[in-house]
Amino acid sequence: MSAIISEHPSSEAPTTDWLEVVRQKVANLRFGSIQITVHEGRVTQIESIEKTRIVAARDEGANSHKSISS
Protein backbone atom coordinates (compact mmCIF):
# COMPACT_ATOMS: atom_id res chain seq x y z
CA MET A 1 0.00 0.00 0.00
CA SER A 2 1.31 3.46 -0.76
CA ALA A 3 0.04 6.84 0.35
CA ILE A 4 0.77 10.36 -0.78
CA ILE A 5 0.08 13.29 1.50
CA SER A 6 -0.35 16.61 -0.24
CA GLU A 7 2.81 18.68 -0.20
CA HIS A 8 0.74 21.81 -0.81
CA PRO A 9 -1.15 22.54 2.42
CA SER A 10 -2.34 25.94 1.27
CA SER A 11 -5.59 26.35 -0.64
CA GLU A 12 -3.57 27.82 -3.53
CA ALA A 13 -2.51 24.33 -4.70
CA PRO A 14 -3.95 23.49 -8.12
CA THR A 15 -6.79 20.97 -8.09
CA THR A 16 -5.11 19.04 -10.89
CA ASP A 17 -2.21 17.94 -8.63
CA TRP A 18 -4.24 15.31 -6.77
CA LEU A 19 -6.23 14.45 -9.87
CA GLU A 20 -3.06 13.63 -11.77
CA VAL A 21 -1.86 11.40 -8.91
CA VAL A 22 -5.17 9.50 -9.05
CA ARG A 23 -4.92 9.14 -12.84
CA GLN A 24 -1.41 7.71 -12.59
CA LYS A 25 -2.36 5.27 -9.84
CA VAL A 26 -5.40 4.03 -11.76
CA ALA A 27 -3.34 3.64 -14.95
CA ASN A 28 -0.76 1.51 -13.10
CA LEU A 29 -3.29 -0.65 -11.25
CA ARG A 30 -4.56 -3.98 -12.58
CA PHE A 31 -6.57 -5.23 -9.58
CA GLY A 32 -7.16 -3.18 -6.46
CA SER A 33 -8.58 0.09 -5.22
CA ILE A 34 -7.79 3.77 -4.84
CA GLN A 35 -9.01 5.59 -1.72
CA ILE A 36 -9.16 9.38 -1.55
CA THR A 37 -9.29 11.07 1.85
CA VAL A 38 -10.86 14.52 2.09
CA HIS A 39 -10.62 16.94 5.03
CA GLU A 40 -12.57 20.20 5.06
CA GLY A 41 -13.34 19.88 1.36
CA ARG A 42 -9.74 19.24 0.27
CA VAL A 43 -8.02 16.04 -0.83
CA THR A 44 -5.36 15.32 1.78
CA GLN A 45 -4.38 11.72 1.08
CA ILE A 46 -4.50 9.16 -1.72
CA GLU A 47 -4.02 5.45 -1.00
CA SER A 48 -3.50 2.72 -3.54
CA ILE A 49 -4.08 -0.94 -2.64
CA GLU A 50 -2.97 -3.46 -5.24
CA LYS A 51 -4.19 -7.03 -5.10
CA THR A 52 -2.34 -9.96 -6.59
CA ARG A 53 -4.53 -12.81 -7.76
CA ILE A 54 -3.10 -16.31 -7.52
CA VAL A 55 -4.71 -19.29 -9.21
CA ALA A 56 -4.89 -22.27 -6.86
CA ALA A 57 -3.03 -25.40 -7.98
CA ARG A 58 -6.23 -27.46 -7.87
CA ASP A 59 -7.81 -25.06 -10.39
CA GLU A 60 -4.91 -25.09 -12.86
CA GLY A 61 -4.71 -28.75 -13.73
CA ALA A 62 -6.73 -30.92 -11.42
CA ASN A 63 -7.02 -33.60 -14.12
CA SER A 64 -3.33 -33.60 -15.04
CA HIS A 65 -2.19 -35.27 -11.79
CA LYS A 66 -2.21 -39.06 -11.93
CA SER A 67 -1.47 -41.35 -9.04
CA ILE A 68 1.43 -43.67 -9.42
CA SER A 69 1.06 -47.03 -7.72
CA SER A 70 4.07 -49.04 -6.67
In a domain, 37, yes or no: yes
Residue 41 belongs to domain spanning: 2-7+14-51
Is pLDDT of 6 > 50? Answer: no
In a domain, 61, yes or no: no
In a domain, 29, yes or no: yes
- pLDDT for 9-47, tens place per residue? 455 555 669 999 999 999 999 999 999 999 999 999 999
In a domain, 39, yes or no: yes
Asked if 13 and 6 touch (Cβ cutoff 8 Å), the reply is: yes
In a domain, 21, yes or no: yes
Task: Write the single-letter amino acid at 43.
Answer: V
Asked if 11 and 18 touch (Cβ cutoff 8 Å), the reply is: no
In a domain, 58, yes or no: no
Res 48: pLDDT:
95
Distance CA 19, CA 14 (A): 9
In the chain, how many domains are there?
Answer: 1
Distance (Å) of CA 8 to CA 4, 41, 68: 11, 14, 66
Is pLDDT of 5 > 80? Answer: no
Res 55: pLDDT:
86
In a domain, 57, yes or no: no
- pLDDT for 46-59, tens place per residue? 999 999 988 888 76
- Phi/psi at 21 (5° precision): -60, -45
In a domain, 26, yes or no: yes
pTM over the 0.75 mark: no
